[in-house]
Structure 1
Amino acid sequence: MPPSLVNELSELKRRMTAIERAPAPVNSFDRYPPVEWAAQGRPPVGSNVWSSVSVSNATGLTFDRVECKFITDFLYTGKREAEIRLAAFRHTGNASREIVSASGVLNLTGNASRTIGVVVLRWIHGIPFGWDYQDDTTVYTIELQHRYKKGPENPKGRTIYAIAAPEDSAINGNILNWGYKQDDDGKWWWVPTYRAGSPWAPDFVTVPNADEGSYSISAMQYCVGLPQTRIPEASENGWAWIKGSGAAWGRGPDLTEPFFGV
């Protein structure tokens, strides 16, 4: 047979094999297990670019609408606020991945006091239906991503004039008595005197702000593909239900914003 016909037959065979492996369309939903489950602290990372809280393998999905649930903790209004989105990626066998689509940005502003938040997101992901026929190694993932919206970029602590020394330094015999000491500005302080060469010395010490810290976002409790009849609210921008946190939709989907590439 001509080489072109052999190639076409091989391609047809590969497509038939892929179709046989694809999920049955009679499924009522598709589950996509996440990588991690426990809520973890999430500080700003890598210049505060988008980073993934969890990754769900969505290769071979049946439905174009997905729902995921997660919880939040330690979100404080005006102190620790988060931006959240869902994003779909194509993996082609190397370490990098290509973004396919993203939802709009959901701002989670927390509360004045500690409250556990619950969030449900419904989204039309934009991944092509069925298996990717271009090759046998392509994998799609749907990832719950986050970045800091506000704080703790510039936390302000308290500066105290006190004895400063390296941790675990011996103090026995180093401090002699109490007396006056004049600082560089001409101010006098009532401080302990110390032996020459002692690791202990009066100095200004900064105590970090108690509000400095990290909010927590759990991995997807589950990520599931559902038909339109089950989640008609899903859209390309996204739909959300939130309990236990202030929230509002921000900017729309943007595939050009930087994210971790691995």
Structure 2
Amino acid sequence: MPTQPNAVPPSLVNELSEVKRRLSAIERAPQPVNRFDRYPVIEWAAQGRPPVAGNVWSSVGIANVTGMTFDRIEVKFITDWILSGKREAEVRLAAYRHQSYYTQCVSASSVLNLTGQADRNIGTVVMRWVHGIPYGWDYSDDTTIYTIELQHRYKVGPEPYSPNRLQVYGMYKREKDKGADGGGGVDVGGGNWVAYQSGNNRSAIGYVTIPDGADESGAYGISAMHYCVGLPKERIPEATPKGWAQTWAVNSSWGRDPDITEPDL
């Protein structure tokens, strides 16, 4: 078939059609309402009493923030069993630089005291912070990683957990052992308690503590960060290098200023 004058090669027609399709898709694409950094979070378990390694800072939430865009972050977590005067915690946010086998704390927020309430409540805490990691520092180095960690420790000072639970005076035994009556109970003879069990496994009369639902180790609960998100100044203007926090169902107060030299795990 003879070629028509000024005809466009088929390959070029296809390419032009693809360009038009892409331009049309771009024009129809929705504009994002918000732009922010999202960081994956890993959970560690909070430790019960006695304190681990001398009550140093332990991490319950870790976010990899390598290559971040914003210098302000917001995190959210929940608490449980923070009881005033019994189980009180300190929390902070800290930024770390990891390179090979070396880890360096580069910045930290002030210490937030979680003093709780008189009764058990599930508390919610939101913290906003200017993390202080120099933007672009070693980002071209594939071996360097930056993390932001939510850390906790038992509140420094007098022992916050001093139980004063109700006790009863009576005979006790293992629930699977038989009592003196051959069953699960005890005998009462002459109006006096029988101070022994049948067989050779005898238990004396004594005080028995009635549990009140509290963990005897004095442990409180702190979740991992529900999220760690980088946001612009317009979204979180309250964020400062010392930190900002808002709490629900758990009382709090600010304590010591940032100190990156405090020992941690």
TM-score scaled to structure 2, two decimals?
A: 0.70
| 1:127-174 deviation line (CA, Å, top 9, x unaligned) | 121252584322111111112227654334445443345674454659
State the shift of 1:98 in Å: 2.5
Kindly indicate whether residue 79 of structure 2 is the aligned counterpart of residue 79 of structure 1. Answer: no
Give the 3 Å change call, closer, same or farther, for CA 60–195 of structure 1 in structure 2: closer
Kindly indicate whether residue 70 of structure 2 is the aligned counterpart of residue 68 of structure 1. Answer: no
State the shift of 1:67 in Å: 0.8
In the alignment, which of 89, 96, 107 is matched to residue 101 of structure 1? 107
* Contact 1:122–1:231 (Cα < 8 Å) also in 2: yes
* Contact 2:40–2:63 (Cα < 8 Å) also in 1: yes
Give structure 1 stretches of 5+ with no counterpart. 1-26, 181-188
Q: Hey, what's the Cα distance between the residues in 2 that align with 1:79 and 1:206?
A: 22
| 1:34-69 deviation line (CA, Å, top 9, x unaligned) | 1139xx765244033211111111111122211111
DSSP-derived class of the 1:79 partner: coil
Aligned-partner residue type, residue 227 of structure 2: Y
Give the 3 Å change call, closer, same or farther, for CA 92–163 of structure 1 in structure 2: farther
Alignment of 1:30-41 (within 5 A): 30-36=37-43
* Contact 2:75–2:226 (Cα < 8 Å) also in 1: yes
Give structure 2 stretches of 5+ with no counterpart. 1-33
* Contact 1:56–1:143 (Cα < 8 Å) also in 2: yes
Q: Hey, what's the Cα distance between the residues in 2 that align with 1:91 and 1:58?
A: 11
* Contact 2:85–2:160 (Cα < 8 Å) also in 1: no
Alignment of 1:185-196 (within 5 A): 190-194=192-196
Q: Hey, what's the Cα distance between the residues in 2 that align with 1:112 and 1:161?
A: 28
Q: Hey, what's the Cα distance between the residues in 2 that align with 1:198 and 1:179?
A: 20
Give the 3 Å change call, closer, same or farther, for CA 93–192 of structure 1 in structure 2: farther
Kindly indicate whether residue 153 of structure 2 is the aligned counterpart of residue 147 of structure 1. Answer: yes
Kindly indicate whether residue 164 of structure 2 is the aligned counterpart of residue 162 of structure 1. Answer: no
Match of 2:118 in 1: 112
Aligned-partner residue type, residue 145 of structure 1: Q
Kindly indicate whether residue 206 of structure 2 is the aligned counterpart of residue 204 of structure 1. Answer: yes
Question: Hey, which of these two has a bigger chunk of strand by percent?
Answer: 1
* Contact 1:121–1:239 (Cα < 8 Å) also in 2: yes
Aligned length: 223
Q: Hey, what's the Cα distance between the residues in 1 that align with 2:205 and 2:103?
A: 50
Match of 2:10 in 1: none
DSSP-derived class of the 1:75 partner: coil
RMSD: 3.2
In the alignment, which of 244, 247, 255 is matched to residue 260 of structure 2? 255
In the alignment, which of 119, 136, 154 is matched to residue 142 of structure 2? 136
Over the matched positions of the two proteins, sequence identity in percent amounts to: 51
Match of 1:244 in 2: 249
Which piece of structure 1 moves more, 142-151 or 97-106?
Answer: 142-151
Give the 3 Å change call, closer, same or farther, for CA 120–158 of structure 1 in structure 2: same
Aligned-partner residue type, residue 130 of structure 2: I
* Contact 1:42–1:217 (Cα < 8 Å) also in 2: no
* Contact 2:114–2:253 (Cα < 8 Å) also in 1: yes
Give the 3 Å change call, closer, same or farther, for CA 245–194 of structure 1 in structure 2: closer
Larger Cα Rg: Structure 1 or Structure 2? 2
DSSP-derived class of the 2:142 partner: coil
Q: Hey, what's the Cα distance between the residues in 2 that align with 1:146 and 1:177?
A: 51
In the alignment, which of 93, 98, 109 is matched to residue 91 of structure 1? 98
